[in-house]
Structure formats: C-alpha cells, structure tokens
C-alpha cells in the first residue's frame, strides 16, 4: 500500500465531519474506514522510523542495564499518541522516503514491544510462552541485531 496524502486528508475530514454529526465513518463505508486506518498505520510507522536512532539507544540501555521496559514503552506509546494528535489537527508529514519503506523497521519495533508482555520475573510460575529474564535478554539482543541489519539494508 502506498501513502496518499490527499486521500488521507479527505478521509480524515470526512471522518471528523461524521463524528460531529454523531456518526462514524465505518457506518457509511467500512472500506473507507479501513483505508483511513491503514493510512494512519503508515504515518505511525514512519514516525517510529524517524526515531530509529533513539530507539537503538534505548534498546542498548535496556540490554546493558536492569530490565526496565518503561522508557521504550513510553517512546512507543508517545509516537502512537502523537499521530492521533496530528491527525486531529489535520497536520501531515512530508516523508523524506516512501512510508512503505519503513514497514520492516516498524514491524520489528512492534515485535519488540510485544515481547515485554511475555516477561515472567519468577521462573517458578512461568508458563510455556513466557520468557525468563535471560530468555528475554536473548530475544531483545536478537531483535536488536535484526533492527540494526534492517537499517543497514535501508541505508544501502
């Protein structure tokens, strides 16, 4: 899917107008609602990608220190909220590269954040899908390498 700024603007305006009338875009056209959601997803992904260097710093800090997920979670959540605010004010970003090129990076960040819900701090009660601290560190390290590789591939 390619990013289309004009379509994004048009759908957002329509969605906002319908909301003012107490309606929802989904009611009028589920297809357009999904288009709008996907355009938002591209914008979110692009903002994550724009913050890639800070993400790498935060992951390194996590790997070198004690297990604390909050800084990374905050970064992730703040970017998602930022897009909601930008959309509410009909503010758009002119990407310096196609939004779709950031997809692999943003999927890896998404995977990384979802890992934290699987952390089990006490091995005596860990379930099969949960990760002990050591397993979690290994997984984060693995993700860190993949993210760096992805960025190297992108820069070439």
Partner 1 sequence: LQKSQAFQAYRLSNRWTPTQSNPGPPRVGGYGGSSSNSLYQFSRGLAAGNSEFQNLSAKAIENAYKQLPSLPVTGTNFEVEPWSLAKHVQHAPDFGLNPYNYGMTYADLQSIADIGLINQIRAGKTPPNAQFVKDFQLRYKLFTESHLMFEKNNDTVMGKSCTSFKNLITGVFTSFRNDSNNSFTGYKLTPLQSLRHDNYNRIGRNY
Using CB under 8 A, list all residues that contact partner 1: 24, 26-27, 30, 33-34, 37-38, 40-41, 44-45, 67-70, 73, 80, 106-107, 110-112, 114-122, 124-125, 129, 139, 143
Nearer to partner 1, 15 or 151 (CB): 15
**Nearest distance in Å: CB 39, partner 1:** 9
SS3 121: coil
Please give the Cα distance from 97 to 49 (Å, whole number).
10
Q: Nearer to partner 1 by C-beta: 118 or 137?
A: 118
Closest separation in Å from C-beta 120 to partner 1:
7
Residues listed for the chain: 156
Which of helix, strand or coil describes residue 94? Answer: coil
Give residues with Cβ within 8 angstroms of 110, minimum separation 6.
Answer: none
How far apart are CB 87 and partner 1 at their closest, in Å?
A: 10
């Amino acid at each position: 899917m390619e990013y289309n700024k004009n379509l994004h603007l048009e759908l957002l305006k329509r969605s906002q107008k319908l909301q003012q009338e107490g309606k929802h875009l989904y009611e009028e056209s589920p297809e357009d609602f999904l288009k709008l959601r996907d355009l938002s997803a591209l914008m979110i992904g692009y903002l994550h990608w724009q913050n890639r260097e800070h993400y790498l710093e935060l992951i390194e800090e996590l790997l070198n220190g004690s297990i604390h997920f909050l800084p990374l979670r905050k970064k992730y959540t703040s970017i998602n909220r930022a897009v909601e605010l930008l959309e509410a004010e009909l503010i758009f970003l002119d990407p310096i590269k196609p939004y779709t090129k950031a997809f692999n990076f943003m999927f890896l960040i998404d995977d990384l954040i979802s890992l934290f819900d699987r952390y089990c701090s006490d091995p005596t009660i860990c379930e099969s899908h949960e990760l002990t601290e050591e397993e979690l560190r290994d997984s984060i390290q693995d993700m860190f390498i993949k993210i760096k590789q992805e960025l190297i591939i992108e820069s070439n």
